[in-house]
Chains A and B, each alone.
Chain A
């Protein structure tokens, strides 16, 4: 990082100890956290600040994030940025199962691959995956955008209600209540700016868009 940062070595510390120390350091300056992969739910509910996880993160990193910038230099565990409402989470490596689930807002960027059930029940966040995603991506998504640069597995966009899935590669199968839809000029412009911002050198025009069919796929009258 360009500017000064405190270092917190989380080795041997439990969530309470690490979290208390993190919050007090964050009040002054950005914090680099080392050896944090055993902590699940670190950076939960933070409203501001800049945190770099040096190495791998544990599960539920940045849960209910509401304004902090969280960077992971290694891989993220399961459910990274779970239920975030605002802020940004950037993972340099891969993310395990369920990245960006239940988010209301903010941005999740995974530069590598992401696992199954990525962006499930997303309600408004922008979730960018630089590599491939697993099965069931964007299941029951109610809003927001998901950008997948690589390929997707089975049941992509299953029971999508609102929001869009943009995908640069291929998918094994599409889920229910969604279909391939036309990519408009607005979409391309947004995609280009998002991809550029995250250093992805791919042609936005090659992306396809998956959009929902119905607001009420189960109980119609």
Chain B
């Protein structure tokens, strides 16, 4: 599972400026945070440690002469299965150090996902398609309409899920806030406290005085109430437009957040109330929830502290979706996010990220049934998270019954991430998951905020195209009838009609599983 040795780094000496004029260019040496390149005694650039390459490809992008090639050592990785190069390196690492592997970003390798589901368009025998170019499509999602004095009105059915300050840089957090403001969606503090500018940036204001909006239409910020309770105070609960109670996350359900000491700078230590350089390992459960009724009491006092104005959200990991969602809804929240196996992380034990939890497509059906059984479907809003890549994934999740989706890893990629899976080391060369000032200065919140907003706008357009070609003018009209499973496995997992067969598989016909 390790990425060690997974990439071949080659330097074309005919192209390299440094090879022709030693000392003239060392961009790759300068830019690589992993020490892949070095200078020899003659001041020539050499590939000194190709094993350290994580495949982020920043060096290749910045090389002025296009002299660098980064190729995955794929044949090696695949041919010796199950003893791939990654597995061999993983065993060597344990044998040498006695400790298990940690990883950032998320799950590697194939898991059941949305790709084996297709959208059914409208033709003659169904409501006519709507005209994407000349007709309207409502994509608004309202959270807490009947329960809160200040409900949240998302312009698009999207949220940025919780990613903490600590896991992410200050600049990345602000870019997310700016993007939420520019697109009218919801961003989330994550569990690492709030960055000072985040609340007013998310609402569209550049200054705390909140006089004139800089970024229209203005979005929302959820503050997260979590098991480590990092940086939580009455002012913190007051700072956002919603409060999210975190129970778990897709990448490491059953465990709390991990922030390794390397990323705990003075500022992060100050906000979290921990010593500089110590690990912030959140408890796996709330120390202040010890019996079933306690979580409802917590939702109750969070409503009270926020003066009954703000929606209360809850985030669940992928475990037993029917029972978990039912329990969450009965605790009295306004929206539930359920995160799938491939959900992202800043740091997690590899075995947990890789092998623990249920894939996203298998969560949505039971979650929707739980809400329907309580008569709360579409009242308590459901957001599907974990591996959402575009408007197509979002459409499919919504047709399965979710009210919206979260873009976490996709948002990081929109910020520049190449998925090198080394977030936990804190050296992110794009400044997204690094606390190193040298990396952070590479990320301009405004520029990257615009990239994120572009991604959200484009994905919203995709949802609009698909909603309208399947004969709807409102995302709330989407249903399972708008989807088909391409193979028996997917039909079995989701209960969707199988293409060709045009019915759900037999065991779904009488009483749908839980």
Q: Is the interface of A mostly helix, strand, loop or mixed?
A: loop
In the bound assembly, the distance between CA atoms of A66 and B283 in angstroms comes to 24
Q: Which residues of A contact B288 (CB under 8 A)?
A: 60, 78-79, 82, 98, 101-102
The one of B229, B237, B275, B303 in contact with A102, judged by C-beta atoms closer than 8 angstroms, is B229
Contact with A along B89-114 (1 / 0, CB 8 A): 00000000001001000000000000
Interface residues of A in 97-124 (CB under 8 A from B): 97-98, 101-102, 104, 117, 120-121, 123-124
Q: Which residues of A contact B260 (CB under 8 A)?
A: 219
In the bound assembly, the distance between CA atoms of A217 and B277 in angstroms comes to 12
Q: Is A90 in contact with chain B by the CB < 8 A criterion?
A: no
Is A64 a contact partner of B308 (Cβ separation < 8 A)? no
Contact with B along A1-44 (1 / 0, CB 8 A): 00000000000000110010000000000000000000011001
Q: Across the two chains, which residue of chain A brings its CB closest to B296?
A: A40
Q: Which residues of B contact A218 (CB under 8 A)?
A: 279, 281
Q: Chain B's nearest CB lies how many Å from the CB of A44?
A: 5
Q: Is B301 in contact with chain A by the CB < 8 A criterion?
A: yes
Is A123 a contact partner of B274 (Cβ separation < 8 A)? yes
Q: Which residues of B contact A15 (CB under 8 A)?
A: 300-301, 304
Is A41 a contact partner of B300 (Cβ separation < 8 A)? yes
In the bound assembly, the distance between CA atoms of A101 and B288 in angstroms comes to 7
Q: Chain A's nearest CB lies how many Å from the CB of B58?
A: 25
Interface residues of A in 106-155 (CB under 8 A from B): 117, 120-121, 123-124, 139-140, 142-143
Is B275 a contact partner of A142 (Cβ separation < 8 A)? yes
Q: Across the two chains, which residue of chain A brings its CB closest to B276?
A: A215
Is A59 a contact partner of B275 (Cβ separation < 8 A)? no
Is A83 a contact partner of B229 (Cβ separation < 8 A)? yes
The one of A44, A66, A78 in contact with B304, judged by C-beta atoms closer than 8 angstroms, is A44
Q: Which residues of A contact B232 (CB under 8 A)?
A: 64, 83, 102, 104
Q: Which residues of B contact A79 (CB under 8 A)?
A: 288
Q: Is B273 in contact with chain A by the CB < 8 A criterion?
A: yes
The one of B279, B297, B308 in contact with A16, judged by C-beta atoms closer than 8 angstroms, is B308
Is B290 a contact partner of A64 (Cβ separation < 8 A)? no
In the bound assembly, the distance between CA atoms of A40 and B238 in angstroms comes to 19
The one of A16, A19, A97, A102 in contact with B290, judged by C-beta atoms closer than 8 angstroms, is A97
Q: Chain B's nearest CB lies how many Å from the CB of A160?
A: 12
Is B274 a contact partner of A142 (Cβ separation < 8 A)? yes
Is B301 a contact partner of A40 (Cβ separation < 8 A)? yes
The one of B237, B283, B308 in contact with A45, judged by C-beta atoms closer than 8 angstroms, is B237
Q: Is B287 in contact with chain A by the CB < 8 A criterion?
A: yes
Q: Which residues of A contact B308 (CB under 8 A)?
A: 16
Q: Is A72 in contact with chain B by the CB < 8 A criterion?
A: no
Is B298 a contact partner of A60 (Cβ separation < 8 A)? yes
Q: Which residues of A contact B294 (CB under 8 A)?
A: 59, 78
Is A44 a contact partner of B278 (Cβ separation < 8 A)? no
Q: Is B305 in contact with chain A by the CB < 8 A criterion?
A: yes
**Interface residue count on the A side (C-beta < 8 Å):** 40
In the bound assembly, the distance between CA atoms of A15 and B237 in angstroms comes to 18
In the bound assembly, the distance between CA atoms of A54 and B111 in angstroms comes to 58
In the bound assembly, the distance between CA atoms of A41 and B298 in angstroms comes to 8
Q: Is B261 in contact with chain A by the CB < 8 A criterion?
A: yes
In the bound assembly, the distance between CA atoms of A34 and B208 in angstroms comes to 41
The one of A139, A142, A219 in contact with B273, judged by C-beta atoms closer than 8 angstroms, is A142
The one of B275, B283, B287, B301 in contact with A60, judged by C-beta atoms closer than 8 angstroms, is B301
Q: Across the two chains, which residue of chain B brings its CB closest to A40?
A: B297
Q: Is B71 in contact with chain A by the CB < 8 A criterion?
A: no
Q: Is B123 in contact with chain A by the CB < 8 A criterion?
A: no
Is A44 a contact partner of B283 (Cβ separation < 8 A)? no
In the bound assembly, the distance between CA atoms of A47 and B305 in angstroms comes to 11
Interface residues of B in 261-314 (CB under 8 A from A): 261, 273-275, 277-279, 281, 283, 287-288, 290, 294, 297-298, 300-301, 303-305, 308
Is B275 a contact partner of A162 (Cβ separation < 8 A)? yes
Is B277 a contact partner of A78 (Cβ separation < 8 A)? no
* Known contacts A40-B301, A142-B273: A121-B281 contact under CB 8 Å: no
* Known contacts A16-B308, A117-B287: A104-B301 contact under CB 8 Å: no
Q: Across the two chains, which residue of chain B brings its CB closest to A159?
A: B281
Q: Is A161 in contact with chain B by the CB < 8 A criterion?
A: yes
In the bound assembly, the distance between CA atoms of A124 and B272 in angstroms comes to 11
Q: Is B204 in contact with chain A by the CB < 8 A criterion?
A: no
Q: Is B21 in contact with chain A by the CB < 8 A criterion?
A: no
Q: Chain A's nearest CB lies how many Å from the CB of B100?
A: 10
In the bound assembly, the distance between CA atoms of A218 and B347 in angstroms comes to 14
Name B's A-contacting residues (CB within 8 A). Answer: 99, 102, 228-229, 232-235, 237-238, 260-261, 273-275, 277-279, 281, 283, 287-288, 290, 294, 297-298, 300-301, 303-305, 308
Name A's B-contacting residues (CB within 8 A). Answer: 15-16, 19, 40-41, 44-47, 59-60, 63-66, 78-79, 82-83, 85, 97-98, 101-102, 104, 117, 120-121, 123-124, 139-140, 142-143, 161-162, 215-216, 218-219
Other than the known A15-B304, A41-B305, A47-B234, what 6 A-B pairs have Cβ atoms closer than 8 Å?
A15-B301, A45-B237, A64-B232, A123-B273, A143-B273, A218-B281
4 closest Cβ contacts across the A-B interface? Answer: A41-B301, A45-B234, A123-B273, A45-B305
Chosen A-B contacts, 25 in total, with CB atoms closer than 8 Å, are A16-B304, A40-B300, A40-B301, A41-B304, A44-B304, A45-B237, A45-B304, A45-B305, A59-B294, A60-B288, A64-B305, A66-B233, A66-B235, A83-B232, A98-B290, A104-B233, A121-B228, A121-B287, A123-B274, A139-B287, A143-B274, A215-B277, A216-B261, A219-B102, A219-B260
